Amino acid sequence: MLCPIPESLPAALVAMVACLRVLSDTPVTLRDPMSMERTNLLNMAKLSIKGLIESALSFGRTLDSDYPPLQQFFVVMEHCLKHGLKVKKSFLGYNKSLWGPLEMVEKLCPEAGEIAASVRDLPGLKTPLGRARAWLRLALMQKRLADYLRLLITRKDLLSDFYDNSAVMVEEEGAVIVGLLVGLNVIDANLCVKGEDLDTQVGVIDFSMYLKNDIDDYRSGERNGQIAAILDQKNYVEELNRQLNSSVHGLQGRVDNLEKSNSILIEELAIAKNNIIKLQEENHQLRNENTIILIKAQQQLEVCLLQCPDVENELVVQVSMKQEMDLAMKLLEKDIHEKQDTLIGLRHQLDEVKAINVEMYTKMQTSDDGMKQKNDMITRLEEKTNQITATMKQLEQSDKDLLSQTRTLAMSFVKCASTDTENQYKLVKDISF
């Protein structure tokens, strides 16, 4: 809880303490430096935007580049946009450039392409910081600064390439500042970006503008009115001067365009005259050539008329010869057709002979195959006959052997039998064949 401010303090100290209280909205226990910086920048943005809107509405006039609250507003915005900006290593060393994230707005909003193109075309800007300052001024004059920055802070993925995670543009303070910028759309700003040195300006926040005491406020009321009237007259004169300069530049541009078009027309007229002279010369030459051609044609016609009877006789001879040749050609064609028919018939007969030969050859091959099969069968039969004959011979021999063996056995049996003659006779009779 904050202590009450003693009434015995001077007015300047009271205003300073009040300003410090405004700048310290966060608790004292907060130790994060980045968070404290974001809070301080947010409070300074609030004061700057509020003071700019109130002073502009009280004066009721168009703001120019020399207006101190407007200058301080751009300084505060520059500090807010620089907060947490990543350091990038380049060929010349390390730098922090605001132009990188602001240039990305062109891809998010095509309407911002006009501002970016105007900034790139400014001849006096040589540094990225100067281009970023010019971009902020042109966006404010266009009354689209809040819209462009709102599109930028919504793309955290793009901002992560340029800012740290604790930067103002990435945290909630950036959204609050963008919301405050919407109020600047009620202000009309007329800033001359082309003639201003934006590369070497030093952006320092002037806290004295926000620490004025009550006495100074009372005394400066009348002076502010006088200054406002003087500034109004000055702005009116400057506006007239700018309008006259713009009209002079416009007229000068028209004069230059007319001079260029006049010189172009003069050149085209000279070229057209040269072309006309060339065409006339070509026409005269063609006429001469036409006259010579007509004379030669008449001479050739006279020669042809003199040679006409001989030519007619030759023509009659040629016609008769042509007729004879046509008749001979017809006879030759007839003879050729007859010979072609004869050839066709002979070809048919040849095809038939070929077919018969093929058929006979096929039959001959078939008969040869049959004869081979029959010869093979005869050979096999002869082999079998020889085998059977050999077998029969073997059987006959075996029969003879058996008969001789039987007779031998019978005789031996007879010898061993009884001496009875009758029984011996019966036994021999039974054994004999």
CATH of the domain at 34: 1.20.58.900
Residue 2 scores a pLDDT above 60: no
Nearest-angstrom CA–CA distance, 88 and 94: 6
Q: Is residue 178 included in any domain, yes or no?
A: yes
pLDDT of residue 13: 42
Q: Is residue 384 included in any domain, yes or no?
A: no
| Ordered DSSP codes for 273-317 | HHHHHHHHHHHHHHHHHHHHHHHHHHHHHHHHHHTHHHHHHHHHH
Residue 118 scores a pLDDT above 80: yes
Contact 135, 115 (CB under 8 A): yes
pLDDT of residue 433: 45
- Split at pLDDT 50, 70, 90, the class of 9 is very low
Q: Is residue 166 included in any domain, yes or no?
A: yes
Locate 3 and state its tokens.
């202590």
Residue 143 scores a pLDDT above 80: yes
pLDDT of residue 222: 54
Q: Is residue 99 included in any domain, yes or no?
A: yes
| 126 alpha-carbon distance from chain centroid | 34
Measured CA distances, 256 to 45, 249, 268 (Å): 47, 10, 18
The residue among 133 and 246 whose pLDDT is bigger is: 133
Q: Is residue 96 included in any domain, yes or no?
A: yes
pLDDT of residue 375: 87
**Residue 129 sits in which domain range?**
11-212
Measured CA distances, 29 to 1, 16, 42 (Å): 12, 22, 19
Residue 95 β-bridge partners: 88
Q: What domain count does the chain have?
A: 1
- Split at pLDDT 50, 70, 90, the class of 284 is confident
Nearest-angstrom CA–CA distance, 362 and 351: 16
Q: Is residue 139 included in any domain, yes or no?
A: yes
Residue 90 scores a pLDDT above 50: yes
- Residue range 336-372, pLDDT digits in tens: 888 888 889 888 888 888 888 888 888 888 888 888 8
pLDDT of residue 233: 60
Q: Is residue 232 included in any domain, yes or no?
A: no
Q: Is residue 92 included in any domain, yes or no?
A: yes
Give percent of the chain with pLDDT exceeding 90: 2
- Residue range 119-135, pLDDT digits in tens: 888 887 888 888 888 89
